Amino acid sequence: MTATETARARPAYREVEVDVEVRRRQEVSDGVVTLTLADPTGADLPEWAPGAHIDLLMTPSLVRQYSLCGDTANRAEWQVGVLLDPNSRGGSQFVHDKLHEGSTVRIRGPRNHFPLVGSPRYLFIAGGIGITPLIPMIAAAEAAGAQWRLLYGGRTRSSMAFVDSLQRYGDRVTVCARDAQDGANFRANLSSALADPGENTLVYCCGPEGLLTAVEDACKTWPPGSLHIERFSAKAIEEPSPGALETFEVECQRSGVTLTVPPDKSIYQVCEEAGVDVLGSCMEGVCGTCECDVLDGEPDHRDSVLNDAEKARNDVMMTCVSRSRSERLVLDL
């Protein structure tokens, strides 16, 4: 997730790695299933807040992140919504083919790089399956008495998850399906909603890269910190990054080792090969699993998780993609 400018409060949760059971599986739209997950012993799952995601560890090499989209007050069950991606690299295919009611799957988390910051007004923007993290955000905004509206775009109405349940919010929700005869035009709605900065309004957006880029561009005239975005795929980054060093040293302070990172390897790879305890998942700078504290030095941030203000603080970094602008980085590893 990236949010432009100001810092976000990073909620710290009790993170777990446990086997959970698929309690229910429901087809909520064409190509989208929701899985309701529960601890088989009936134990409570950790607390989470809107914007949080979990890792599904389908096989040792197949780990994917999915936003929690259920009720934050329900500690007994978690819910994720998964779109069967025609270009699936295995994750959504596994969920659709192999995870049925009664199946067991290992999960890790929750983790939150897309927290909902308190505000009197919100503009939520979803493209396709990007609706999932916004569902609990809308519930929280509603419970807090905030003013909000949702622009929800999709290919066809039947492919858009949660459209029926969103109907209860009336005209605060604008559904724009490209196949609908009377469908509102998503781009036109987007342009008019973002044309002028909304007073005390935060924008939360999740969806495909084209939508995120368009919203980022449109929000350039909004006050810093207005826009909060969650990415499911890595943002294209300028190559080479100005000021970045090809080779540099990483001192892993807790492990007491100093390693050289060559141009063709990531910090994560070098640490893993040296036996330093690191945890990662996407290896694309998207999921935030490999985040670690920077104790000294200046990272070259190349991830799609941190916002600009967080990058400027240089106190954390994603070791799977980010590199260094200083000869030596000292990391809390």
List contacts with ligand FES (CB under 6 A): 280-283, 285-290, 303, 305, 318, 320
Greatest Cα-to-Cα distance within the chain, rounded to the nearest angstrom: 64
Please identify, using beta-carbon distances, which residue of 28 and 57 lies nearer to ligand FES.
57
DSSP state of 168: G
The four Cα atoms 271, 236, 156, 66 give a dihedral, to 10 degrees, of 20
Please identify, using beta-carbon distances, which residue of 39 and 303 lies nearer to ligand FES.
303
Residues 197 and 207: beta-carbon distance below 8 Å: no
By CB atoms closer than 10 A (0-12, 13-18, 19+), residue 171 is exposed
Least Cβ distance, residue 1 to ligand FES (angstroms): 10
Please identify, using beta-carbon distances, which residue of 176 and 259 lies nearer to ligand FES.
259
Please identify, using beta-carbon distances, which residue of 154 and 285 lies nearer to ligand FES.
285
Please identify, using beta-carbon distances, which residue of 81 and 288 lies nearer to ligand FES.
288
Distance of alpha carbon 91 from alpha carbon 58, whole angstroms = 8
C-beta atoms surrounding 237 within 10 Å: 14
Residues 3 and 113: beta-carbon distance below 8 Å: no
Length of the chain: 333
Please identify, using beta-carbon distances, which residue of 161 and 286 lies nearer to ligand FES.
286
Please identify, using beta-carbon distances, which residue of 39 and 291 lies nearer to ligand FES.
291
Residues 35 and 1: beta-carbon distance below 8 Å: no
Least Cβ distance, residue 305 to ligand FES (angstroms): 6
Least Cβ distance, residue 316 to ligand FES (angstroms): 11
DSSP state of 237: -
By CB atoms closer than 10 A (0-12, 13-18, 19+), residue 188 is exposed
> Which residues, in sequence order, are CB contacts of 242 under 8 Å at separation 6+?
none
Residues 286 and 280: beta-carbon distance below 8 Å: no
Please identify, using beta-carbon distances, which residue of 97 and 277 lies nearer to ligand FES.
277
Distance of alpha carbon 29 from alpha carbon 22, whole angstroms = 19
Please identify, using beta-carbon distances, which residue of 177 and 305 lies nearer to ligand FES.
305
> Sign of dihedral through CA atoms 254, 286, 97, 70?
positive
Least Cβ distance, residue 282 to ligand FES (angstroms): 4
Tell me the β-bridge partners of 176.
153
Least Cβ distance, residue 120 to ligand FES (angstroms): 32
Least Cβ distance, residue 191 to ligand FES (angstroms): 32
By CB atoms closer than 10 A (0-12, 13-18, 19+), residue 94 is middle
